[in-house]
Amino acid sequence: MSKMWKLAVLLCLFALVDVDAWGQAIFATLTGVVSDPSGSVISGAKVVLKETQSGSARETITNGEGYFTFASVPVGTYGMTVEAAGFQLYKADGITLGGGERRNVNVALAVGTASQTIEVNAEETAVATVDSGEKSFTLATKELQNFTQVGSNAAEYIKIVPGFAIQNGVQNKANYNGQTIGINANGDSGSQSPLNNAFSYNGLPTNSLDITADGAHVSDPGCNCDTPVNPNSDFVQEFKVLSSNFSAQEQKGPIVISSVTKSGGSAFHGSAFFSARNHALNANDWLNNNQTPVVQQPANSYYYPGFTFSGPVLIPGTNFNKDRKKLFFFTGFEYFHQVLDTGLLRAVVPTANEINGDFSPAELAKEGPKANQLNLNNWPAAWGTQVPQSVIDPNMQALMKLYPAPNATPTSQNPYNLVEAEIFNQNNRQWTTRVDYNISDNTKVFVRYNYQ
């Protein structure tokens, strides 16, 4: 074997090791022991785990201690059957497995024939094992669909996670409400994600919060910027917040948000959705009404149309994937048509006469009590309160004219001569696609691509 081939094989091995390292956080493990009515273990029992949506099945047999295990099981809902000679068929449906979970189902077979079946409620028999002290909060597809949110960013759900609270005090614009997807507006870190200190967890800032999608890191916790990948609640089947005592496979923190993208199944499914909000339905902000003159409600609006579509991959005219158990897809698209507002902006700006050199007491008063008024005693006596045109730099004067003109009368309660709220367009779009391929019962591959 040449050196180049050896190097290629070595790199592939490292890649496989790395995939296994981060992949465990999005896969589950199911274990159990099969026994007879007397409690004696049954070896050689056939155990089949079948994914409800796709029909993909995995099979194993119990060992000499009656023990079985299924490792690296994708997130989803499963049915399990257990059969052994001389015993009735055991059937359990509705086994829900989440990312990083390790669940246990012990099976007691009843004496009888294979034509007889024992059906059980899996939710009553499947329990999380106690080999982890992880403190986490998980939302599955049902909760993600039923819980009300302002926008489509699943990270908004941290607001209902125990231990999280709003920080940075009170302002007249929501610090983070999940409504806006994109780069922050006017330095307002709340317009994009909970990454940038919009929330605290048990008193700790969440600027070190990490977001992963299907095991891949999608954010830079040290960057006060746009979240590269939004965990869209319409596109994910599981949203999990890990707050403490999680394993070393989650190497960042102290808070980790993980999401798992939806996958396709043996049947075609689709959905369309549209979220709309317009400023016309909002009351004007109290602080806006308290200005002189009154600042009108900013004309912001949010229109989010989108769709999802999933199912088996079929090639017409061929028998490829005819049984619909090999190749599946999921795709989702959402457009964010956003007219954002800056919230109330207040400042002290120079007047037109001041730009032309007039610093009389009457003109300085127009700047209000918060202005950095000049000490005229240090000026040349010949100037008085008027700077001569001969000493005014026209270039600097031109730069000063870039300031907006005052539009308000300052008072002791509102010491600003510029009060306004601006709007601007910030549109965005997101497209997510996932493909799952069942190469065999023991080898399964998925690829997910997200564009935002």
Measure the CA–CA gap between 9 and 393, rounded to whole angstroms. Answer: 69
**What does the mean pLDDT of the chain come to?**
79
Cβ neighbours around 210 below 10 Å, total? 21
Question: Considering only 205-209, 394-398, 442-446, which range has the smallest mean pLDDT?
Answer: 205-209
Of 224-238, 325-339, 375-389, which range is least confident?
A: 224-238
Query: Token match 């080898």: residue?
Result: 443
* 407-422 exposure pattern, b = at least 16 Cβ within 10 A, e = fewer: ebebeeebebbbbbbe
Identify the pLDDT of residue 163. Answer: 73
Point out the least confidently predicted range of 9-23, 353-367, 390-404: 9-23
For position 428, what pLDDT does the model report? 87
In the numeric block, the tokens 């273990």 are attached to 41
What 3-state class would DSSP assign to 404? coil
Strands 256-261, 236-244: parallel, antiparallel or unpaired by DSSP? antiparallel
Q: Give the model's pLDDT for residue 198.
A: 62
pLDDT digits (tens, 9 = 90+) for 89-127: 999 988 888 887 888 888 999 988 766 777 776 655 555
| Band of pLDDT at residue 251, cut at 50, 70 and 90 | low
pLDDT score for 437: 93
Interval 232-241 mean pLDDT:
87
pLDDT surpassing 70 at residue 167: no
Residue 217 to residue 219: CA distance in whole angstroms:
6
Compare 198 and 236 and report the one with higher pLDDT.
236
Say which residue the tokens 């009170």 belong to. 170
pLDDT at position 101: 81
Q: Which residue has the higher pLDDT, 95 or 14?
A: 95
- Examine the pLDDT at 426 and tell me if it is beyond 80: yes
Amino acid, res. 417? N
pLDDT surpasses 90 at 270: yes
**In whole angstroms, what is the distance from residue 435 CA to residue 328 CA?**
6
Domains of the chain in sequence order: 3-128 (2.60.40.10), 135-344+428-451 (2.170.130.10), 345-420 (no CATH)
Report the 10 Å Cβ neighbour count for 256: 21
> In the structure encoding, which two tokens stand for residue 117, read together?
């079946």
Quote the pLDDT of residue 409: 87
Give the residue, 186 or 300, on which the prediction is more confident.
300
Contact criterion met (CB below 8 Å) for 228 and 219:
yes
- Per-residue pLDDT of 369-401, as tens digits, reads 877 777 767 788 888 888 999 999 999 999 999
Q: When comparing pLDDT for 66 and 182, which is higher? A: 66
Local structure of 124: helix, strand or coil: helix
Residue 185 has pLDDT above 50, yes or no: no
Percent of the chain exceeding pLDDT 90 equals: 29
Q: 21 falls in which pLDDT band (50, 70, 90)?
A: very low
pLDDT of 395 reads 95
- Provide the pLDDT for residue 199: 65
Lowest average pLDDT, out of 10-14, 38-42, 349-353, 415-419, goes to 10-14
pLDDT at 68: 95
- Say yes or no to pLDDT of 175 above 90: no
pTM over 0.85: no
pLDDT at 313: 94
More confident position, 10 or 339: 339
